[in-house]
Amino acid sequence: MNVYWLEQSEADVPAENDWLSENEAARLEGMRFAKRRADWRLGRWTAKRALSVCLDVPAHLQVFKRIDIRPAPSGAPEVFFADQPAAVTISLSHRDGVAACAVAKSGVEIGCDLEMVEPRTDAFVADYFTIEEQALVARASAEDRPRLLALLWSAKESALKALHEGLRLDTRSVVVNPFDGSFDLNGWSPLHVRHTTGALFHGWWHLADNILRTVVASPRPDSPTPLTIPARFFDGASRCA
């Protein structure tokens, strides 16, 4: 099952808001804090650039206005084009001026996440990780510990998004099993996450530039396919296969 991946930075986002739908512009207007506004705009821009490829529509500002990304009752993003549900499912994440959008066909349960590799306390591990995950961390070397913690936390966030619950659920209700890095495929390594109900998500993780990326889905996804986006607007796009 194909999953497509795009990252953008704050420098990629236009200064004006003429690419937002009417609903999105109204929502942005209600945001008080500058950082929240910047993160939200970056996520929407990243999604629309990815969707211009996967929906096979021109990457024009006026076309972007017709792509409306609305929050479902669960909070998960839903895509509408020209006021009709689009045949895609997306997940969004942003961290430290970078955003990612994962795109799959409609009906797929999918979640993605970005995390910085950074030190975390023993109290963080005790509060948010299962006994099995704590054992993995305890066996890790001091050098590997920050990467492993970022991987476990990011995979949990991805799975909770795929469940349409987010951090409303106890993070210990999902257990992450990262496979050995020798299984790397195109820079991505496999993992799976199991929910206490027995629901199983397969996925992938990738580390570059100190950012740990994860994506999980059901049904089982192939390793993510990066989307190549031209630097300027153009008249057509290639559909995601």
- The predicted model gives 164-188 an average pLDDT of 82
The Cα angle at residue 48 between residues 44 and 54, in degrees rounded to 5? 145
The CATH superfamily holding the domain 115-214 is: 4'-phosphopantetheinyl transferase domain (3.90.470.20)
Split at pLDDT 50, 70, 90, the class of 167 is confident
Unique residue bearing structure tokens 């961290």: 95
Split at pLDDT 50, 70, 90, the class of 185 is low
Q: How far is Cα 6 from Cα 140, in angstroms, rounded to an integer? A: 31
pTM higher than 0.85, yes or no? yes
174-179 contacts at long range (C-beta below 8 A, 24 or more positions apart): 175/130, 175/132, 175/133, 176/133, 176/151, 176/152, 178/136, 178/148, 178/151, 178/152, 178/205
Tokens of 41: 């705009």
- Check: CATH 3.90.470.20 for 4-111? yes
In Å, how far are 90, 156, 237 from 217, measured between CA atoms? Answer: 11, 12, 25
Q: Please indicate whether residue 80 or residue 236 has the higher confidence score (pLDDT).
A: 80
The Cα angle at residue 79 between residues 160 and 102, in degrees rounded to 5? 50
pLDDT at residue 237 in the model: 43
- The predicted model gives 144-168 an average pLDDT of 96
Q: Please indicate whether residue 180 or residue 189 has the higher confidence score (pLDDT).
A: 189
Cis peptide upstream of residue 219 (ω within 30 degrees of 0): yes
- The predicted model gives 219-240 an average pLDDT of 73
Task: Give residue-wise pLDDT tens across range 3-57.
Answer: 999 999 999 999 999 999 999 999 999 999 999 999 999 999 999 999 999 999 9
Longest dimension (CA), the chain: 53
Q: How far is Cα 115 from Cα 97, in angstroms, rounded to an integer? A: 12
Residue ranges of the chain assigned to CATH 3.90.470.20: 4-111, 115-214
Q: How far is Cα 191 from Cα 86, in angstroms, rounded to an integer? A: 29
Q: How far is Cα 196 from Cα 116, in angstroms, rounded to an integer? A: 27
